Amino acid sequence: MDTKKEFFQYMSSVIGEKYSYTHAYDVYKEIHSTTDKQTLSHMYDLTQMNDEERKLYRYALACQGIELTPTQIDQFLISIDYALKSRTK
């Protein structure tokens, strides 16, 4: 599992700007350490969403009071994908 610094370096290189969203690293750690197959499957499904599904996901989050920009959604999903892939290293 990557350190916070390594995680932020990876995310910064992928998105092309400095990245330091601590909550994303917390999610990364949770995904990396979970053994619950249903949670892992759900996280994988999130990373496979197309543009329309991402819009619906963003709307569903907004209905729960969690307002994220499309860019924040993309970055969040990149971090989930990275966590899932790093589990297999």
pTM of the model: 0.85
Domain count, the chain: 1
Q: pLDDT per residue over 21-64, tens digit each? A: 888 899 999 998 999 999 999 999 999 999 999 999 999 999 99
The boundaries of the domain holding residue 81 are: 4-87
Residue/partner pairs of 19-27 with CB below 8 Å, 24 or more apart: 19/75, 21/75, 24/75, 24/76, 24/79, 25/79, 27/76, 27/79, 27/80, 27/83
